[in-house]
Amino acid sequence: MSDSTPAKPAAPAHPENLSMLAKRRIEAEILGHVYEVLKASHGKAAAMQAIGDAVRRSAIEQAQRFAAQEPQGTSLRTFIEMGQLWQKDDALQRVVHVKTDTAYEFDVVRCRYAEMYREMGLGEIGHLLSCQRDGTFCEGYDPKLKLERTQTIMQGASHCDFRFSYDK
């Protein structure tokens, strides 16, 4: 006699188990549609402004949640350790130049986030969906953490130049 009980479907992956790259894909699938609707009804500038504002809010809130989970408080070191979340699934290839308690400087030489947005047809707003999050995330995580960046792969550069500083 065989067991005719149907197999239970696999439980969906919990959002905490998804890589940041997978989370950004899900967000982009939704925000891409929102962008197109807003662009058709209010114009490109208003649509970009709305998407940019929404993503900035999201980045600050996410950073505040991460900061609240730091038992010893935030620092550049805790920020650097947390950065592994954005690198999961080989999402970023980086060359690190400086890594101290007050400075963290690196270049991203391959960005799968940028590749993904372009493949999804969202290259026009990819910088709003990901790149602008970086500096805004710092605001929510720790006001002493600053990012200076002059170029991104998403906007056509050969690499992204991340220069974080931490004012002790």
Domain that holds residue 129: 19-166
119-123 long-range contacts (CB < 8 A, ≥24 apart) are 120/25, 120/28, 120/29, 120/32, 121/32, 122/28, 122/32, 122/35, 123/154
- Residue 11, SS3 per DSSP: coil
**CATH number assigned to the domain comprising residue 39:** 3.30.1380.20
Which tokens in the block code for residue 163? 């220069």
Mean pLDDT over 102-124 rounds to 97
> Is it the case that residue 148 has pLDDT exceeding 70?
yes
How many independent structural domains does the chain possess? 1
**What's residue 93's pLDDT?**
97
Whether 3 maps to a domain, the answer reads no
Whether 1 maps to a domain, the answer reads no
Whether 13 maps to a domain, the answer reads no
> Is it the case that residue 134 has pLDDT exceeding 50?
yes
**What's residue 15's pLDDT?**
54
**What's residue 14's pLDDT?**
45
How many angstroms separate the CA atoms of 88 and 83, rounded? 9
Mean pLDDT over 64-70 rounds to 96
> Is it the case that residue 13 has pLDDT exceeding 50?
no
- Out of 2-6, 43-47, 84-88, the most confident range is 43-47
